[in-house]
C-alpha cells in the first residue's frame, strides 16, 4: 500500500514537471513570429546568382565615383570664381602662358578695329547692372567680337565686347557704341572652344560664328589667338553689353549620387531576398 502510494506521488511529480516544460515550450513557440528568414547555403546561389551580384556592386561603385566627381566639380567652380575675382594682370608676352590663365582678368590698352568685327550667336543675354537701350528686345541676339590693336606691341587680339539684339547687329545701328581712339579694357581670358554636338558649322564668309573657333576667327581677322571677354565695368553707352561670360558649371552630382546608391540598395535587397534569405 505504501509502495503504491509512493509510485503515484512520483508519477504525479513527473507529469507536473513535464507539463510545465511542454507548456513553456509551447508558449515560447507561440511568442515567436510564424514567418522568419534564415540564411540559406551560399553554395546554392549558383553562377547566375553570383553574376547578378554585379548590378548592386557596379551601382555602388558609380555612387562612389559621383562623390569624387562632386568634390572635383566644386573645387573647379571655386577655382574659376577665384580667378574671375582676382586682380587684373598684364597680357603675357608669351602666348603659351595663356593656356594656364583662362578666366583670369587681363588689362590691355589699344584701339578697336570696328571695320573687322565679327559675330557669335545667336545668344541669350546674361543680365547685368550695366544694360543699355540695346537690351530692350528680349529675343536672342549676338556677341560682337572686335579685333583690338595693342598699343604696347605690334599685335592684334580679339575682344568680345558684349551682347546686342538682332536688330542692332549692324554697326550702323549703334554708332554711339563704336568708340574711337586708344582705350583701356579689362577682359577675361578665354581659350579655344571645340564644336559642340549638333552645332551648325561656322559661316566665315558671313562673319558669323556659332562657337569660339579661334583658328577660324583669327584667320578671318588677322588677329593672334588671344580672346578676351570684356567685363561689364568697361561698357560704353550705346554699345554692346559686356560681362557676358558664363562662369557657372552644371553640378548635378548630388542627384546622381542619390540615384546610384538607391539602385545599389534596392538591387542588393532583391539579391539577398532571392538568393540568401528564404521564407520558412
In this predicted model, which residue has the larger pLDDT, 96 or 249? 96
Q: Mean pLDDT, the chain, as a whole number? A: 83
Residue tagged 541669350 (cell numbers): 124
In this predicted model, which residue has the larger pLDDT, 129 or 195? 195
The reported pTM is 0.70
Closest CA to 110 of 176, 158, 62: 158
At residue 31's C-alpha, the angle toward residues 29 and 35, to 5°, is 75
CA 34 from chain centre, in angstroms, equals: 51
| Poorest-pLDDT segment among 31-35, 103-107, 195-199 | 31-35
Residues 157, 223: Cα–Cα separation, whole Å: 5
Domain boundaries in the chain? Answer: 2-32, 35-87+247-280, 104-234
Q: What is the mean pLDDT of residues 120-132?
A: 76
Q: What pLDDT is attached to residue 12?
A: 53
Residue tagged 574659376 (cell numbers): 80
Check pLDDT > 60 for residue 163.
yes
Cβ proximity of 190 and 115 under 8 Å:
no
Per-residue b or e along 92-110, where b marks 16 or more CB atoms closer than 10 Å to that residue's CB: eeeeeebeebebbbbebeb
In this predicted model, which residue has the larger pLDDT, 5 or 140? 140
Amino acid at each position: 500500500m505504501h509502495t503504491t502510494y509512493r509510485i503515484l506521488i512520483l508519477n504525479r511529480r513527473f507529469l507536473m514537471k513535464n507539463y510545465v516544460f511542454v507548456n513553456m515550450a509551447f508558449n515560447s513557440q507561440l511568442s515567436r513570429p510564424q514567418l522568419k528568414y534564415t540564411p540559406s547555403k551560399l553554395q546554392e546561389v549558383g553562377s547566375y546568382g553570383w553574376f547578378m551580384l554585379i548590378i548592386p556592386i557596379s551601382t555602388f561603385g558609380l555612387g562612389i565615383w559621383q562623390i569624387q566627381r562632386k568634390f572635383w566639380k566644386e573645387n573647379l567652380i571655386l577655382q574659376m570664381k577665384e580667378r574671375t575675382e582676382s586682380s587684373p594682370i598684364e597680357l603675357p608676352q608669351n602666348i603659351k602662358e595663356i593656356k594656364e590663365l583662362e578666366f583670369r582678368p587681363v588689362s590691355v590698352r589699344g584701339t578697336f578695329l570696328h571695320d573687322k568685327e565679327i559675330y557669335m550667336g545667336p545668344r541669350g543675354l546674361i543680365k547685368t547692372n550695366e544694360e543699355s537701350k540695346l537690351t530692350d528686345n528680349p529675343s536672342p541676339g549676338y556677341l560682337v567680337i572686335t579685333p583690338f590693336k595693342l598699343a604696347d606691341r605690334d599685335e592684334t587680339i580679339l575682344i568680345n565686347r558684349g551682347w546686342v539684339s538682332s536688330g542692332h547687329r549692324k554697326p550702323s545701328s549703334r554708332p554711339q557704341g563704336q568708340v574711337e581712339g586708344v582705350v583701356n579694357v579689362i577682359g577675361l581670358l578665354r581659350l579655344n572652344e571645340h564644336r559642340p554636338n549638333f552645332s551648325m558649322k561656322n559661316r566665315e564668309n558671313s562673319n558669323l560664328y556659332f562657337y569660339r573657333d579661334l583658328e577660324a576667327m583669327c584667320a578671318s581677322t588677322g588677329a593672334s589667338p588671344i580672346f578676351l571677354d570684356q567685363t561689364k565695368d568697361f561698357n560704353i553707352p550705346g554699345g554692346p553689353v559686356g560681362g557676358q561670360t558664363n562662369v557657372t558649371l552644371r553640378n548635378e552630382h548630388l542627384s546622381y549620387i542619390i540615384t546610384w546608391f538607391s539602385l545599389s540598395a534596392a538591387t542588393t535587397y532583391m539579391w539577398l531576398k532571392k538568393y540568401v534569405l528564404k521564407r520558412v
